């Protein structure tokens, strides 16, 4: 058996033939207890689609001859690829850039930190998780001008199907070029068929000259004036257990932070209910001690240096865990 054509969401599995046979194929994410079974395949190759990126899978095949089936083969493995995205950026931020993005009341303020026409916030847990098939989410994007207020178009996409392409249907905010400082969509939805987990969002603010009302439709453009910001947003399945959902909804703020980090935990939980640690990219914990709880907030009081951190949380009652 072997796996070919491996990309982020699909793979072709091949196995050797037995004349006249049909096959059952079963596969799962490594660590999952449940096989997904595909019965009665009449060729020795099969394209699996709808896979998660950067994920380890295992699979087995058995042959059927009439009503007799063999035992499943030994297990083979493959890993899906990382999703890659087209480049987009502004080349010049001397006149204007994105100073703030807000989703459902959580603000990412980049007015002072913007240093180029592309800002990468991917891999950071900034905004609250959003449930599949939920609606009434709001997003706003604030423009900053260093002098004259020029006409800027703003568009935002979320790659809901995680295929690496920001399609027109995945645009959640579209504001034609104008001098309106904060533009918004007060009611965007998460599609029922979105993939769950970390999902990339792209925000583009591009200078357009006259006339006003011009729309930014290209998510892959390098342009002269303005800025692109990329984010990771988390989408979860509300039908999963309450505890997983609670952990997923834990918010960390401010983001970016200065000196202290607050971790907001679901109401009804206390810090006896969860264990947590915050590691930097070198896996050094910065929060194993020196924390306190105010209401449903954990504050990390260490003099935290700027950088990228990973928050690991475990529900002590259910042993469910999540890493942000
Ligand atoms: Ca910015
Ligand atoms: Ca897509």
**C-alpha 158 – ligand 2 centre gap (Å):** 7
Find the ligand nearest to 170 CA. Answer: 2
- Please give the share of the chain, as a percent, with pLDDT higher than 90: 55
Residues having C-beta closer than 5 Å to ion ligand 2: 159, 161, 163, 165, 167
**C-alpha 20 – ligand 1 centre gap (Å):** 61
Model pTM above 0.75: no
Cα separation, 292 vs 46, in Å, equals: 53
pLDDT band at 21 (very low <50, low <70, confident <90, very high): confident
Q: Which residue range forms the structural domain that includes residue 311?
A: 242-323
Average pLDDT over residues 150-157: 98
In this structure, the answer to whether residues 210 and 292 fall within a common structural domain is no
Cα–Cα distances in Å, from 28 out to 56, 76, 78, 222?
9, 11, 11, 39
**C-alpha 204 – ligand 1 centre gap (Å):** 10
pLDDT 10s digits, 167-214: 999 999 999 999 999 999 999 999 999 988 889 999 999 999 989 999
**C-alpha 316 – ligand 1 centre gap (Å):** 38
Find the ligand nearest to 108 CA. Answer: 1
Average pLDDT over residues 232-252: 67
Whether 84 is covered by a domain: the verdict is no
In this structure, the answer to whether residues 67 and 149 fall within a common structural domain is no
Q: 83 or 12, which is more confident? A: 12
Most confident range, picked from 8-12, 169-173, 254-258: 169-173
Q: 249-258 — which CB contacts under 8 Å span 24+ positions?
A: 249/128, 249/129, 250/311, 250/313, 250/322, 250/324, 251/106, 251/128, 252/125, 252/126, 252/311, 252/324, 253/106, 254/107, 254/109, 255/106, 255/108, 255/124, 255/125, 255/126, 256/108, 256/113, 256/306, 257/304
**C-alpha 7 – ligand 1 centre gap (Å):** 31
Listed residues 79, 114, 132: the one ending a domain:
79
In this structure, the answer to whether residues 203 and 251 fall within a common structural domain is no
Q: What CATH number corresponds to the domain at position 172?
A: 2.60.40.1930
Handedness of CA 18, 24, 29, 33 (dihedral sign): negative
**End-to-end Cα spacing for the chain:** 36
pLDDT band at 244 (very low <50, low <70, confident <90, very high): very low
Q: How many domains does the chain have?
A: 3
In this structure, the answer to whether residues 247 and 297 fall within a common structural domain is yes
**C-alpha 164 – ligand 2 centre gap (Å):** 6
Q: What CATH number corresponds to the domain at position 68?
A: 2.60.40.10
Q: 132 or 255, which is more confident? A: 132
In this structure, the answer to whether residues 132 and 168 fall within a common structural domain is yes
Whether 247 is covered by a domain: the verdict is yes
Q: How many CB atoms lie within 10 A of CB 102?
A: 17
**C-alpha 229 – ligand 1 centre gap (Å):** 6
Whether 273 is covered by a domain: the verdict is yes
In this structure, the answer to whether residues 49 and 121 fall within a common structural domain is no
Find the ligand nearest to 89 CA. Answer: 1
**C-alpha 240 – ligand 2 centre gap (Å):** 24
């Amino acid at each position: 058996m072997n796996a070919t054509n491996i990309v982020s969401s699909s793979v072709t599995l091949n196995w050797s033939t037995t004349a006249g046979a049909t096959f059952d194929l079963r596969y799962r994410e490594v660590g999952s207890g449940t096989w997904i079974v595909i019965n009665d395949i009449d060729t020795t190759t099969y394209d699996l689609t709808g896979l998660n990126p950067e994920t380890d899978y295992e699979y087995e095949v058995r042959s059927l001859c009439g009503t007799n089936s063999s035992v499943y083969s030994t297990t083979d493995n493959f890993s899906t690829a990382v999703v890659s995205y087209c480049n987009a950026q502004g080349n010049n931020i001397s006149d204007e850039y994105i100073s703030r993005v807000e989703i459902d009341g959580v603000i990412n303020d980049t007015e002072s930190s913007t240093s180029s026409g592309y800002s990468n916030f991917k891999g950071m847990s900034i905004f609250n998780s959003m449930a599949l098939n939920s609606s009434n989410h709001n997003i706003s994007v604030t423009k900053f001008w260093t002098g004259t207020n020029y006409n800027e178009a703003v568009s935002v996409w979320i790659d809901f199907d995680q295929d690496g392409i920001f399609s027109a249907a995945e645009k959640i905010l579209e504001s034609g070029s104008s001098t309106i400082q904060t533009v918004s969509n007060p009611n965007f939805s998460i599609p029922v068929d979105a993939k769950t987990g970390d999902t990339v969002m792209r925000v583009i603010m591009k200078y357009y000259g006259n006339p006003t009302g011009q729309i930014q439709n290209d998510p892959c453009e390098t342009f002269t004036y303005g800025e692109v910001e990329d984010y990771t947003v988390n989408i979860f399945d509300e039908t999963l257990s309450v505890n997983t959902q609670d952990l997923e909804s834990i918010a960390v703020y401010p983001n970016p932070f200065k000196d202290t980090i607050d971790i907001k935990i679901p109401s009804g939980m206390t810090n006896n209910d969860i264990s947590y640690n915050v590691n930097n990219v070198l896996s050094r914990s910065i929060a194993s001690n020196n924390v306190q709880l105010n209401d449903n907030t954990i504050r990390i009081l260490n003099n935290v240096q700027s950088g990228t951190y990973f928050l690991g949380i475990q529900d002590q009652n259910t042993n469910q865990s999540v890493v942000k």
